[in-house]
């Protein structure tokens, strides 16, 4: 897979204390996916945010219908319709996306929220400013 874009998601969960990356993986597998649908996750663990691996980056994801074969999916664990992402999660997300841009030679104009491809989704959340995120890259 040669990714051409990065698509941002949020888990719509209250916090990582109630639903974790492992719970999201189990949910996706129970739905019939072979693995978690996202390539990467950003989650609060033990008072620090961490980047978590989901699907291998060279595997087709299962995160955005019609765009899985040419994109990398990143899920920020939390509900960013209710609260803005923490400064730490924001900075770690920027660090991850900068790495992916360098690794895959993806242009800075190629970052999207899931909501750009599905009008029923708010990903990565109403309080997650994708335009600002892109400018800060």
Burial class (CB in 10 A: 0-12, 13-18, 19+), 91: middle
Could you report the per-residue pLDDT of 66-102, keeping only the tens digit for each? 999 999 999 999 899 999 999 999 999 999 999 999 9
Per-residue DSSP letter, 88: H
Contacts of 7 (CB under 8 A, 6+ apart): 63, 64, 67, 71, 72, 73, 74, 111, 112, 113, 114, 116, 117
Could you report the per-residue pLDDT of 9-60, keeping only the tens digit for each? 999 876 545 568 888 999 999 999 999 999 999 987 767 789 999 999 999 9
Q: What is the pLDDT of residue 47?
A: 73
Whole-angstrom Cα distance, residue 75 to residue 63?
A: 9
pLDDT beyond 60 at 105: yes
Q: What is the pLDDT of residue 12?
A: 85
Instruction: Yes or no: say if 125 and 11 are a contact pair by the CB < 8 Å rule.
Output: no
Q: What is the pLDDT of residue 108?
A: 76
Confidence of residue 8 (pLDDT cuts 50, 70, 90): very high
| Residue ranges per structural domain of the chain | 5-136
Q: Does the domain spanning 5-136 belong to CATH 3.40.80.10?
A: yes
Which whole number is the average pLDDT over 116-123? 96
The number of beta carbons lying within 10 Å of the beta carbon of residue 28 is: 19
């Amino acid at each position: 897979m040669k990714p051409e874009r990065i698509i941002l998601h949020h888990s719509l969960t209250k916090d990582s204390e109630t639903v974790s990356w492992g719970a999201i993986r189990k949910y996706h597998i129970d739905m019939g996916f072979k693995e978690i649908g996202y390539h990467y996750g950003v989650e609060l663990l033990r008072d620090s945010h961490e980047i978590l691996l989901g699907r291998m980056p060279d595997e087709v994801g299962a995160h955005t219908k019609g765009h899985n074969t040419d994109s990398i999916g990143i899920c920020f664990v939390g509900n960013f319709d209710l609260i803005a992402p923490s400064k730490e999660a924001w900075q770690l997300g920027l660090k991850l996306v900068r790495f992916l841009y360098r690794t895959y030679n993806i242009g800075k104009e190629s970052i999207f929220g899931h909501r750009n491809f599905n009008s029923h989704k708010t990903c990565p959340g109403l309080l997650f400013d994708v335009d600002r995120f892109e400018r800060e890259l």
